Each structure stands twice: as structure tokens, then as C-alpha cells.
Structure 1
Amino acid sequence: MDFVVEKEPNDVQKLYKEKIADQLDKRNRERQELVNAKHELQQQNNASNESLDYFQETFRAQVTTIEDALANLKPSNDRIKLTQDINNIHEDIQSLQNYLTASTFFLSNYTIKACQSILNDLKARIEVTKDKLLAKKKFNFRSKVDAASTSRSTTTVDAAPSKQQPTASTVNDAFQWTLQNRQNAEIVLVPDDTNNKDITVSTLDSCLLKIFGHPALLQLSHLTNCVILCGPVSRSIFVDNCTNCKFVFSCQQIRLHTSHHCDLYVHVTGRTIIEDCNNINVAPYNYSYTNIDDDFVKAGLDTTKNNWENVGDFNWLSKDIQSPNWQHIAPEQRISCWTDYLTDFRQKILST
């Protein structure tokens, strides 16, 4: 007698139930993942809104502070303090620019453009205010060296009579510059006439200028095809409208405005700031002369601290990408021996 084994209905039902349970479990997981994703997105939106609110509040507060500082700038006989106040406002504007740059990842394009427009307006206003209050000279550093001391402090070798340059019309003739209007000349300023004094130089073409000692401030304006080698400066160095020059500077802070194709060999304890400049090349300070160590001490500069690589560009928004307006000079392209370089440069300028 044959026996037939039939498959129990319970096995089929069990498999069916397991399949249905798996499908339900999968749907529940997908539903929970969707809920979690929506919750996370909501949290991100809330955080973004909170960040935006904080940014807008902070940005507005800083703008108000800067506007108040601008409004409080008044004409003053203390031109050094007035210049420092203007520089402080410049720094505040740059700090606000950096804050905007750091916040761009959660700001809309509209907000970024609107804030940048406000910053550009502040930059324009400080320049207008500076020109208004310091009408006699671009950076408002009044020279303490009279005409007699100026003649004693310079040794000039001219290949040809000095000529008035076209750019001189842009420099106020009422201001007593330490040195101005020279062409194809070698000039030396000695320590007795530079130590702790404001040195102002304007309108040089194809000149070599060596400044020994430890000046308090240095201002250079409208220089073309020049080499400037300067001892340690106690405070700031300002450069405006200079083209195709080589500068050797040591100071607390350097500011370049509207200058192009210039090489800087710097020792700066603060940083270098450029504005409306391009083709600015930077390298570490590598110049020496007798008693330079004493000048560093008297100027109050820390020889162990050199932020030559730290360059800020007022015209560049991105924080993650370096400004294309400046670059480091490759070691193999740097001037390693200034004596040899100056020998060739002298021949060039004095034979023209």
C-alpha cells in the first residue's frame, strides 16, 4: 500500500506571512528614514536661520560701529593720531570683510552681494573722508625735516638735471616732503636725519634710495622704476601709486595702494595689506648693513617675528582662495646679493 505525503498548509502560510512581514518591516524602515531625514532637514533649516539671524545682527552692529567712527572723524592738528584713527577704521572694515567671507557658505547670493555692496560703500567713504581731512597729503604724515635738513640728509648723484614728472601734479606742492622730484639718481638718507622721524618721499623715477637708521614712519608716493632699501621703521609704511619698484622694508605694518608690478622683501610683525594693487610679489627681508641690529632694537621690532607671508587684499572676497593680485617670490628667483644687484642697477640708472 502506497502512502502519499502531502505538504502541510501551515508551511505555505508561514512563508507567506514572513514575506508580508519583511515587506511591512521594509516599509516601516523607509518611512522612519524619511521621518528622520525630514527632522534633520528641519534642524538644519532652523540652525541656518539662527546663523543667518546672528550674522545679520552682528553685521548690522559692526556697520553701525564703523559708521559712527566715520562720523566722529574730525579735522585735527594731531595728524599722526588722525591717521591712526583712519587706519583703525580700515582694519574694522577688513575684519567685517573677513567675517562676510567666512559666512558665505550659509548665505544666499543676494545677501552676499548686498553685504558686499555695503562694505564697498564703507571703503569708498573712508577714502573720501581721508582725502578731505588730510588734504595736504595722501596719508597725512607731516614731515618734521625742514628744507635745510633735507638737503643735508641726502647725497645725490645725478646723471642729468632732475625733471618734474607728470605725476607730480597729483601731489600737493604745499606739503613739505622729505624728498621729491628726482630722476636717475642715487640718494642716501643718514641716521641723524631719519631716526624717530617721519620720512616722506614723492615722485621719483629710476632712483636708488637707501634709508639708514630707524624712522618712525615712512610714506612713499608716485615712484617708478625705483629701488628702496630702508632700515627698521618703528610703526607703519605706506606706499601709494608705485610701479615697477623693489622695496626692502621692516616695520609693524605695510599698506600698499594702487601699486603694480612691485617686489617686496619684508620683515613685518603685523601684516602687509594691499588695495587696488596687482602683480605684487613678496619675499622675506634679506638686507643688512652695519648697526642694523641696533636699529631693530631702537625701532622696537621683534626680529624673531616675521609675518611676510601674511598678505591681506581688500579687493579679494574669497577666504579659501588666495588673491591673484599677489604671490610669493620663489626662492630661486629672489635677490640673494643686494650688493651685486645694486651695482647693476646703478649702472642702469646713471647711464640713462
Structure 2
Amino acid sequence: MSADPTLDPTTQRKHAAMIERLSNLHQSRVSNKTDPKDPSFESTKSFLLIFTNSKQAIESSLTRIQQNPDADPTRDLKPELEKISISITELEKLIAENSYFLPPYEVRSSLKTISDLKQTLDLVTSKVKPRKKFSFKNKPAKKPEPANVVTKDTEAIEYEPEQQQSGYKLKDSPGFRNKENEMLIKEFKGSEIGEFVLSDLTNCEVRLKGCFRTLFINRVQNCKIYAGAVLGSILIEEVEGCLFVAASHQIRIHHAKETDFYLRCRSRPIIEQSSGVRFAPYRLCYDGIENDLMESNLDDDTGSWANVDDFQWLRAVQSPNWSILPESQRIDTVKI
């Protein structure tokens, strides 16, 4: 390109320098990207590389254990199985932390992979230890209970086969179960970080303060549930007429009806087989919540709460199953 004779020499030099910078930038993008029009390509490519390598390492470990379960009769496989379980959890956390830029298809595909890995782990565990149900917790074998003893908040909960989409085992997880018309409060401190379950609750108010790893919610009606910072995932199944105020890296919702969700999340909320669900930003306050959110990397509102993925609705138009809660109908900040 020739210089414009109408421009003075100084302006011509600046113009030439600008053209050179733009040319160099373009060449750099072309050489580093397969598709220079896709600004998220490098991040997606990096994620898929890490995800695939981790997935293959986990599958190799599972295959090795499954093929040689009796190579050494004295060998204790529990530490290896625990290590694999932790690796799967870390891989799921990787999805949650990066799904804000990933294409929806990659998120769905990655979550399906996690579910498959968990099912394979359960299968391998049952094969190498057929006579003793595997538990990740160092607990003594549970003794049979007398028929007239009622187990309290940590009683067992079994999911029906069609409800095991998450792949988690909830049998030994602490939580609130089988409650009605009660105020239920739990504060997590230090080493208490772990899994927590809310199941078969009716007309209850639940207040969960502090940081914990995972929250499972199942069969809940007409309840108000307020939760602090969840480091990993929240899985919600079979809820109706409820109000949730929760913060988490990843939130999945199955079979929800006429329920409002006030969320702060790192990745897009996922709904399946749900209707009449509405979403709004997180509105919860308690002493120390700012520190809890910061430690959980949830201190910033990314706006993901408003970008919901409905896995049952594949059309380009807005899903009729969810909506943004109008500001005039939103609750005020709740202090617990």
C-alpha cells in the first residue's frame, strides 16, 4: 500500500506503523489458531487437551485394576480406588471452573464423560470387592440395627435407578431427611467440609452456613433453602413449590416444578425435565459470607445464573420451561 500524498510525513509514519502492527497481530492469530474468528478456541482447545489426558489416565487406572484384581491377594485396593474417585472429582471441578467459556455441547459431553467414569468406578469396585460395599470414608462396618431403632439425620437414602444420573453414592452422607414443618440449621466449620443431603422435606426452612463440597437435594416440597458457598456441585432432583438461594460452581436441576432459584454460579445452570422454574441473582447474607464466597472463588457474580441450559430443549428459541424472575417479584436479601 502506497503512502497517501495528502498526509504529512509524521502522519504517514504513524499510519505505516499501525498497518504493520495490525498485520503482525493478524499473522500471529492465524499461526496460533485453526479458526481465527473464534476468540475462545485457544481456551477450549487447552481445556479439551487437559480433560482428555486426565480422562485417559483415569480409564487406564480402572482398566489395570479390573484386569488384575487378584494379582496380589494381600494388596489393598481401597487407596487406589479412593485416588481414582478424587481424580474424577477434580475433573468435574475442572468442568465447573471452565464451563463459562466452553460451548454448550462440550459441557454436555464432558458431564456425560464424568457420569460414565463414575459408573465404571462403581462397577470395578463391585467386582474387586464383591462381598463388602465400598465406601470412601474410613468407617467401621455398620452393624445391623434393631427393627425398632429410628436412624436420625444421617440415615441412609437410596436412589431409584433412573435417578442415579449424578453417579454419587449418598448412603453415608450426613444431612436432613424426612422432616416436615421444621427449621433446619447447619453450620460448616473447618474439617466438616464434605457432602450434605436434603431429602424428603416438606414445608421446612433450611439454613446452611459456611463452605462445604457438595449438596444433594431430593424430593423436597414447599421449602425455603438458603445455602452458603458450595465448593463443587449442587444436584437438585424432584422439587416443587420451593425457593432456593444458593452459591456453587455448578448447579444441575432435574424434575423441578414451579420453583424460584436465586443463584451465584461459575458455570451455566443446567435444567432437565423441569417447568415453571425462574432464576434471579444470589441474595443471601450472614456473618462471614464474604470470606466463604472468596475462599470458594464465588465472590464475583459472573451473571451465569441468567444463562440457563435446558437439555430437553434443543431449539434456537427461548425454552418455555424457565424464565428470568422479574425484579418487581424478587425477594429482598435474606439474612440468616
Q: TM-score range by the shorter chain?
A: 0.5 to 0.7
Deviation of residue 128 (structure 1)?
7.7
Q: Is the 8 A contact 2:271 2:310 kept in 1?
A: yes
Q: Is the 1:141–1:198 contact (alpha carbons within 8 Å) kept by the matching residues of 2?
A: no
Residue 332 of structure 1 is matched in structure 2 by 328
Deviation at 1:230, TM superposition (A): 0.5
Q: How far, CA to CA, are the matches of 1:123 and 1:191 in structure 2?
A: 28
**Which residue pairs with 2:313 in the alignment?**
316
Give the 5 Å matches for 1:287-326.
287-318=284-315, 320-326=316-322
Partner of 1:271: 268
The match for 1:219 is 216
TM-score, normalized by length of structure 1?
0.53
1:255 aligns with 2:252: yes
Counterpart amino acid of 1:227? K
Q: Distance in 2 between matches of 1:241 and 1:141?
A: 26
Residue 329 to residue 197, structure 1, CA distance change in 2 (3 Å): same
Deviations 1:135-174 (A, max 9, x none): 99xxx9978999xxxxxxxxxxxxxx9999xxx6646884
Tell me how far apart the structure 1 counterparts of residues 253 and 327 of structure 2 sit (CA, whole Å). 23
Q: 2:82 aligned with 1:77, yes or no?
A: yes
2:206 is the alignment partner of 1:200? no
Distance 1:134 1:204, change over 3 A: farther
1:36-81 superposed Cα distances (whole Å, 9 cap, x missing partner): xxxxxxxxxxxxxxxxxxxxxxxxxxxxx8xx97x94959435354
Task: Tell me the equivalent position of 2:278.
Answer: 281
Q: 1:327 deviation in Å?
A: 0.5
* Cα separation, 2, equivalents of 1:142 and 1:325: 37
Aligned partner of 2:227: which letter?
C
Q: 1:218 to 1:180 in 2, by over 3 A?
A: same
| 1:175 counterpart = 2:180 | no
- Alpha carbons of 1:89 and 1:327: their partners in 2 closer, same or farther (altered >3 Å)? same
Indicate the structure with greater helix content: 1
The 1:170–1:83 alpha-carbon spacing in structure 2 relative to 1, beyond 3 Å, is same
- Percent of counterpart pairs with the same letter? 25
* 2:188 counterpart residue number: 191
Change (3 A) 1:142 1:177: farther
Cα RMSD between the aligned structures?
Answer: 4.6
Structure 1 contact 198–217 (Cα < 8 Å) conserved: yes
Contact 1:143 1:199 in 2 (8 A): no
State how 1:39-50 maps to structure 2 within 5 Å.
Answer: none
Compared with structure 1, are the counterparts of its residues 316 and 202 closer, same or farther at alpha carbon in structure 2 (3 Å cutoff)?
same
Q: Is the 8 A contact 2:237 2:256 kept in 1?
A: yes
CA distance in 1, matches of 2:245, 2:139: 23
Task: Rate the CA distance shift 1:143–1:200 in 2: closer, same or farther, 3 A.
Answer: farther
Residue 335 of structure 1 aligns with an amino acid whose one-letter code is I
Over 3 Å counting, the alpha-carbon distance change for 1:174 and 1:297 in structure 2 is closer
The 1:187–1:331 alpha-carbon spacing in structure 2 relative to 1, beyond 3 Å, is same
Q: Distance in 1 between matches of 2:139 and 2:187?
A: 13
Q: Distance in 2 between matches of 1:211 and 1:223?
A: 16
What displacement does 1:175 show?
A: 3.2
Q: Distance in 2 between matches of 1:81 and 1:278?
A: 34
Q: How far off its partner does 1:87 sit?
A: 8.3
Give the secondary-structure state (helix, strand or coil) at the position aligned to 2:206.
Answer: strand
Q: Which moved more, 1:77-86 or 1:232-241?
A: 77-86
Are the structure 2 counterparts of residues 204 and 229 from structure 1 closer, same or farther at C-alpha, using a change threshold of 3 Å? same
2:242 alignment partner, one of 240, 245, 249: 245
Gaps of 5+ in 1: 1-64, 100-118, 147-160, 343-352
SS in 1 for 2:328: helix
Larger radius of gyration: 1
In the TM superposition, what whole-angstrom CA distance separates every residue of 1:191-229 from its partner, at most 9, and x where no partner exists? 327853222222222211100011122221221221110
Q: Letter of the 1:324 partner, please give it.
A: P
Q: Provide the C-alpha distance between the structure 1 equivalents of 2:300 and 2:264, rounded to a whole number of angstroms.
A: 8
CA distance in 2, matches of 1:283, 1:141: 38
- For residues 68-217 of structure 1, the aligned pairs below 5 Å read 72=59, 74=62, 76-78=81-83, 79-83=85-89, 98=105, 133=121, 170=159, 174-192=171-189, 196-217=193-214
Aligned mates of 1:194, 1:220 — CA distance in 2: 22
Query: CA 1:80/1:272 → structure 2, altered by over 3 Å: closer, same or farther?
Result: farther
